[in-house]
Chains A and B, each alone.
Chain A
């Protein structure tokens, strides 16, 4: 895995003609952004924050997607437990 990451960083840096350090900085920013989105959506689906707050923080599309997925997962679990 570490080898994969190193090779990918090298390949991306070469393709974009930028320093590997810059690629790592971008990767960290994207990674933190993804983790932040996960945290906000987790708080929303667990009723710790309201819908408007979640939309303000991560955008309407992500919230609507999570709502749609949640409905399907709840439906699947209910079916599996009762079928």
Chain B
């Protein structure tokens, strides 16, 4: 049973490659109100309405570390901490902070691989989406690193 809370990054990056539906690979998806408001400041991905998710309020005052993150990341961390949920973020600093707080954290690539593992995607489609994250989105990631991830995926049984 995977309950995950999404930061803005994976929602935007997965939408940019037309794959926001892979978020349905988790068993329960939580979106902090603050994250939703960040999306509204731009454009809420229309495909988000096809996903089942719960809008939740966050209480960052419970967090015990000094945060240098934006409000959405902070809210997502607070919800993940409060609900023992997996944090989904593509932000390196947010990932470091989550690790400091012993919160399990993964990014868009993890969600794509999970969707493959749960038979929502073929292996080749998962590889295609991982590559698209690097070439077609605002996510910065070294291309050879993505290729290494794809080779790990392809070598899995």
What residues of chain A have their CB less than 8 Å away from a CB belonging to chain B?
38, 41-42, 44-46, 65-66, 68-70, 72-83
Contacts and interface: CB of A to CB of B under 8 A. Distances in A.
Contacts of B14: none
B112 to A, nearest CB: 7
A76 B153 contact: no
Given A68-B92, A69-B141, A81 B148 contact: no
Contact of B142 (A66, A74, A77, A80): A66
Contacts, number: 78
Contacts of A76: 106-107, 109-110, 113, 149
Contacts of A74: 148-149, 152
Interface residues of B, number: 27
By CB atoms of chain A within 10 A, which of B110, B117, B145 has the most?
B145
A75 B152 CA distance: 11
21 contacts: A42-B144, A69-B142, A70-B145, A72-B95, A73-B145, A73-B146, A73-B149, A74-B148, A76-B107, A77-B109, A77-B149, A79-B104, A79-B113, A80-B110, A80-B113, A80-B116, A80-B117, A81-B117, A82-B117, A83-B114, A83-B117
Contacts of B142: 38, 41, 45, 65-66, 69
A3 B111 CA distance: 36
Contacts of A38: 142-144
B144 A79 contact: no
A73 B104 CA distance: 14
